[in-house]
């Protein structure tokens, strides 16, 4: 098998996992593209992306254009003469002039079963919307947003208690294996594209902190899915009097309560049970203002008076 000359483009941890798998394969990465270094941490020190760090560790040339509006950046890519460009959570929309450079075009490792979730936050959206399965799609890129032909899919169930962080990590591993498999099949000419059904597509908007607010009129299942999907970021939240509490984990309750949605009906070692629009939800990990995330049992040890049955959790703002 003739190894491919690959330009890799990606930025965060998810992309680094795929990058590492390609580096361990028979294929050759000739350059890495990633976002410019960004301020990070308390000191706001410029920090290299996970992809850049891995590239430097492996003596791979790194390119960090702000965008591809400058012809010089397009010329630099063309001079590399790649067989293919692998794009994973890069953070830039690639113009047609870039897509046309590699001999085999550009492929993308997308963390959903296209066309279900296109866009920036498919992992979190799939959980928050109650999907029972997801996966990774290897896609031939075109000028649209996640609209290209599908080349290979790897499917996995979503566990009923899985959250955004754990699913992210699992899909990173699945995506890494699927990408290498797709590259090998491409060399052998055994990869055919399948057109997406646009009528089945949803847009996975970028997450915002404001979206984390819980509406207790929703069902316990809807709230549970949202809490899972929005962990570890931006984290779901609700109000308690004049305080904002962040809810890190919860489980479905078994009570048949006729109390007002948002009302606490029990608070003990098993958690803080709240009535919803349908069923009850038991909060078992939360964070009070200025504190760290604790189990409900630990919070109740010192702040039980805040969560007396009959107390109401309501929207903020």
Q: How confident is the model at residue 158 (pLDDT cuts 50, 70, 90)?
A: very high
- For the chain, where are the E strands, in sequence order? 5-10, 28-33, 38-40, 45-47, 62-63, 84-88, 106-110, 117-119, 133-140, 150-157, 202-204, 236-240, 243-252, 264-268, 271-275, 280-287, 294-295, 313-314
Determine the Cα–Cα distance for residues 109 and 111; give it in Å rounded to an integer: 7
List, for residues 20-44, the tens digit of each pLDDT value: 999 999 999 999 999 999 998 888 8
| Dihedral, 308, 309, 310, 316 alpha carbons, nearest 10 | 60
| Dihedral, 147, 148, 149, 155 alpha carbons, nearest 10 | -60
- For the chain, give the percent of residues with pLDDT over 90: 93
Determine the Cα–Cα distance for residues 294 and 300; give it in Å rounded to an integer: 10
Please name each of the domains of the chain with its CATH number: 5-204 (3.40.50.170), 210-314 (3.10.25.10)
pTM value is 0.94
Shortest CA distance to 127 belongs to which of 278, 232, 216?
232
Residues 6+ apart with CB under 8 A from 115: 146, 147, 196, 197, 198, 200, 201, 202
Distance of CA 124 to the CA centre of its chain: 5
List, for residues 246-280, the tens digit of each pLDDT value: 999 999 999 888 899 999 999 999 999 999 999 99
3 state DSSP class of 215: coil
Determine the Cα–Cα distance for residues 122 and 112; give it in Å rounded to an integer: 6
pLDDT at 285: 98
Shortest CA distance to 117 belongs to which of 103, 133, 102, 101?
133
């Amino acid at each position: 098998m003739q190894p491919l000359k690959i330009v890799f483009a990606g930025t965060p941890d998810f992309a680094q996992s795929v990058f590492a798998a390609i580096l361990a394969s028979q294929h050759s990465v000739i350059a890495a593209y990633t976002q410019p270094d960004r301020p990070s941490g308390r000191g706001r020190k410029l920090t290299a992306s996970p992809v850049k760090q891995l590239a430097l560790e492996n003596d791979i040339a790194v390119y960090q254009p702000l965008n591809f509006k400058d012809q010089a950046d397009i010329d630099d890519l063309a001079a590399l003469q790649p067989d293919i460009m692998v794009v994973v959570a890069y953070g830039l929309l690639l113009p047609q002039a870039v897509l046309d450079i590699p001999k085999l075009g550009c492929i993308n490792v997308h963390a959903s079963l296209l066309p279900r979730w296109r866009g920036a936050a498919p992992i979190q959206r799939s959980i928050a919307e109650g999907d029972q399965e997801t996966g990774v799609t290897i896609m031939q890129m075109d000028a649209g947003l996640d609209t290209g032909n599908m080349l290979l899919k790897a499917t996995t169930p979503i566990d009923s208690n899985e959250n955004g962080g754990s699913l992210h990590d699992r899909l990173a591993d699945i995506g890494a294996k699927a990408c290498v498999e797709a590259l090998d099949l491409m060399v052998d000419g055994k990869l055919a594209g399948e057109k997406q059904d646009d009528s089945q597509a949803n847009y996975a908007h970028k997450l915002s902190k404001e979206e984390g607010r819980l509406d207790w009129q929703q069902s316990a299942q809807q709230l549970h899915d949202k809490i899972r999907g929005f962990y570890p970021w931006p984290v779901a939240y609700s109000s308690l009097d004049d305080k904002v509490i962040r809810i890190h984990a919860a489980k479905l309750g078994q009570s048949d309560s006729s109390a007002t949605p948002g009302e606490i009906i029990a608070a003990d070692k098993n958690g803080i049970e709240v009535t919803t629009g349908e069923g009850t939800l038991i909060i078992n990990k939360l964070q009070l203002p200025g504190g760290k995330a604790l189990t409900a049992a630990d919070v109740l040890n010192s702040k039980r008076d805040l969560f007396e049955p009959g107390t109401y959790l309501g929207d903020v703002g």
